[in-house]
A and B are shown apart, each in its own frame.
Chain A
């Protein structure tokens, strides 16, 4: 009935007829996919260029060593001074406090979820814990400055501290990164094969000994990667420190002091409208470049640690 007839097979099967038919549309679409993937590299290159060019203009006016080792940060004063050390000390304090909070809590929660919790309990507790990671950082900032600093530290504990402190900012930031550390460490511990736990139990170890001496060392690379990622998030966090750590750049020597962090400076400098090409505009990018380099080193350290020490089972 049909008028369609199959094409006659070629008499001689040539190499050409076995080759895929050229499909220009398919090739074009696949090219688009490839361009989209390469776009991610363009973003990274763009970031490097965007930070580098204004920074070079900045370092043409301010010597690098004066920037890195100068101890007075006053870019907007008449006798301007561009020593970044005060910003770095504030960042170091908030990051250190955040880690003191987040590492024990995150690892404890991870061990509990991975080694002790019933499967059903874990299914409920893990998403609830991860809610902490979903709360906007500006809400954490509000909580840090209005509740932790004003109510807990000053009213309840009666501590001698002003409206801001690196302690309040660091503490809240620590809680914020607990789910990051807990989630990645828990994955690493869950990936340790059960035969190791059974072997340990057969040798007479109890669950605590098995966890501390067998599971934890076996999962160490994942745990370290989790902590390193936590450090990188703490260094780059902006809104919490912009609200709660303080806006004055000075060398921080104790947890109850206020101080402006690197990200805090970027946020506050952004509020003033500095014209493109001015020294103030370039300063912003020099601090951004330093921040980017620090987090880049941390990120690649984390990736390298995972690759180097990963135990394959």
Chain B
């Protein structure tokens, strides 16, 4: 009796302390609140930066966002200059990139996802390689293309197809990864049903799996192409920075693109060119925003859920 009293007393103190401890560490304790505020701040800071950037570009460039930007050619006088060849050049290069990269990317993804034997050494090397290619800096693709041109003795680097070749290799991993994910999302029952009806594996791919995966592929392709559209570094190495006084009009034609034009104008001392750079940035951002919106629309409208 005598010994149990302090024990009971001790137990009480222990329980009391643990209860108090929990209260101290509760959801509304100062430390928890401070932690949440810090987390909020992290997200808010990044979003605030985005807003400030967009406002800054808009304020700098809106004065030159007029018809002349779309109709005039670059000039040494900022008041007469426009971005017409750069805008057309971007369209040419991105269109050519799409034609070059989509068939190869989709074909490679079909092989990896539908036909490849996972234990085959080459296939495992390809998978690891695609992951690695996606993280290689974009300038390196410019150097690869530059060296290839040197090897084949192509002297004139400033051609639409050359730029498109570099950008195609740059976004190939993006297209492959997106296509594989879209194919993987198609349930196995679809394939099995088709095969059970007597279709060959290839017929199954072309008539069932691929059409079912098309919205996902389209979304990935648009996002990959929008990355290529904003890219300047590889094209800089390929002589994309030229003073162009004509419209790009073919695969062999000379070109410059919007990001390169922005780079060129930003690097000049005159304020007028900085305004032009900002105005061209607005055009580029609007095009990218539209492409992203299209990707989201396709995903929401056509994506099937199984």
Chain A interface residues toward B at CB < 8 A: 23, 26, 29-30, 32-34, 36-41, 43-44, 46-47, 49-51, 53-54, 104-109, 111-113, 116, 125, 127-129, 131-132, 134-143, 145-147, 175, 178-179, 182, 204-209, 212, 229, 232-233, 235-239, 242-243, 263, 266-267, 270-271, 273, 276, 284-285, 288, 291-292, 295-296, 298-300, 302-303
Contact = CB atoms under 8 A, between A and B. Distances in A.
Nearest to A130: B292
Q: Which A-B residue pairs are the 7 nearest by beta carbons?
A: A236-B137, A108-B42, A136-B230, A50-B147, A36-B107, A33-B111, A238-B233
A108 B39 contact: yes
B27 A207 contact: yes
B39 A112 contact: yes
A135 B230 contact: yes
B30 to A, nearest CB: 11
B277 interface: yes
B126 interface: yes
A73 to B, nearest CB: 18
Nearest to A45: B129
A245 to B, nearest CB: 13
Contacts of A273: 239
A239 B150 contact: no
Interface string B244-272: 00000000000000011011001100000
B135 A232 contact: yes
A261 to B, nearest CB: 11
Nearest to B233: A238
11 contacts: A26-B200, A30-B202, A40-B133, A112-B43, A135-B285, A136-B230, A139-B285, A142-B281, A238-B137, A242-B263, A263-B233
B140 interface: yes
B153 to A, nearest CB: 9
Contacts of B35: 208, 212
B104 A36 contact: yes
A295 B21 CA distance: 48
B241 interface: yes
A295 B111 contact: no
A288 B140 contact: yes
B200 A136 contact: no
A44 B133 contact: yes
B60 to A, nearest CB: 7
Contacts of A109: 39, 42-43, 46
A37 B116 contact: yes
A295 B137 contact: yes
B120 to A, nearest CB: 10
Contact of A139 (B32, B176, B262): B262
A129 B27 CA distance: 27
A90 to B, nearest CB: 15
A236 to B, nearest CB: 2
A278 to B, nearest CB: 11
Interface in B23-38: 25-27, 29, 31-32, 35-36, 38
Contacts of B56: 143, 146-147
Contacts of A38: 122, 126
B300 to A, nearest CB: 12
Nearest to B230: A136
Contacts of B148: 46, 50
Nearest to B114: A33
A298 to B, nearest CB: 8
A237 B126 contact: no
A137 to B, nearest CB: 7
Q: What is the predominant secondary structure among interface residues of chain A facing chain B?
A: helix
Nearest to A108: B42
B129 A40 contact: yes
Contacts of B190: none
Contact of B281 (A50, A139, A284, A295): A139
Nearest to A273: B239
Given A104-B42, A138-B259, A142-B277, 11 more contacts: A34-B115, A47-B141, A50-B147, A106-B42, A116-B36, A131-B292, A138-B230, A138-B262, A138-B263, A233-B137, A239-B259
B172 interface: yes
Contacts of A129: 43, 46-47
A36 B266 contact: no
A298 B137 CA distance: 12
B146 to A, nearest CB: 8
Given A36-B111, A44-B133, A105-B46, A50 B143 contact: yes
B143 A239 contact: no
B231 interface: yes
Contacts of A128: 47, 50
Contacts of B105: 36
Nearest to A237: B137
A141 B266 contact: yes
Contact of B32 (A26, A207, A296): A207
Given A142-B266, A243-B266, A206 B147 contact: no
A134 B45 CA distance: 17
Given A36-B107, A40-B133, A44-B129, A263 B139 contact: yes
A270 B133 contact: no
Nearest to B131: A303
Contacts of A33: 107-108, 110-111, 115
Contact of A137 (B21, B108, B230, B277): B230
B292 A145 contact: no
B43 A208 contact: no
